[in-house]
Amino acid sequence: MKIGLSYSRCVRDIVQGRVDIDNVLVLISRTDFDPHDDKQWADIWFGYRYGLNPEWWDCRDQDEGHYRQVSIELWETGRFHQPRKFGTRPARRSEIWLEAVLPDSELESRPAVKDAWDKFQMVAGLTNVKLDRTYS
């Protein structure tokens, strides 16, 4: 279960197959745009392909549709959170992904943590996120 902290870098990881979109709980982005809006999308695409900090410099022009579709899927499934839409200005973080995983030993020794984890898993299930249960 992953929490993304960079729109451009996380979407790139999903498009390039390094991260499965079904393992993304939420993407918390510093952007403020609607991927359905053609003008806003064109600005995002151009900026991340050719702008001052081109995170998508190595992708192909024919990949644009895939980048946009990933963005739209995250948006439509409620997994694309943009704090700037609510007046917040988060700083860029060096981390790209956070793992939301608790080992069984922690869950067994702390009942309150287990209860919170169970509730988290329920919410994740409501968003159709696939939980990786291989951690222990």
Query: Does residue 96 contact residue 9 with C-beta atoms inside 8 Å?
Result: yes
pLDDT tops 80 at residue 126: no
| pTM, rounded to two decimals | 0.73
> pLDDT (tens digit, 9 = 90+) per residue, 74-97?
999 999 999 878 777 777 778 888
Query: Does residue 118 contact residue 9 with C-beta atoms inside 8 Å?
Result: no
The closest of 83, 80, 77 to 126, measured between CA atoms, is: 77
Sign for the CA dihedral angle at 17, 99, 78, 48 comes to negative
Determine phi and psi for 29, rounding to 5 degrees: -115, 150
Chain length of the chain:
136
pLDDT tops 80 at residue 124: no
User: How does residue 115 score in pLDDT terms, banded at 50, 70 and 90?
Assistant: confident
User: How does residue 135 score in pLDDT terms, banded at 50, 70 and 90?
Assistant: very low
In sequence order, the 6+-apart residues with CB closer than 8 A to the CB of 108 are 114
Buried b (16+ CB within 10 A) or exposed e, 93-131: eeebbeebebeeeebeeeeeeeeebeeeeeebeeeebeb
Report the C-alpha gap between 8 and 113 in whole angstroms: 32
User: How does residue 130 score in pLDDT terms, banded at 50, 70 and 90?
Assistant: low
> pLDDT (tens digit, 9 = 90+) per residue, 25-76?
899 998 999 999 999 999 999 999 998 888 999 889 899 999 999 999 999 9
In 10 A of CB 66, how many CB atoms?
Answer: 15
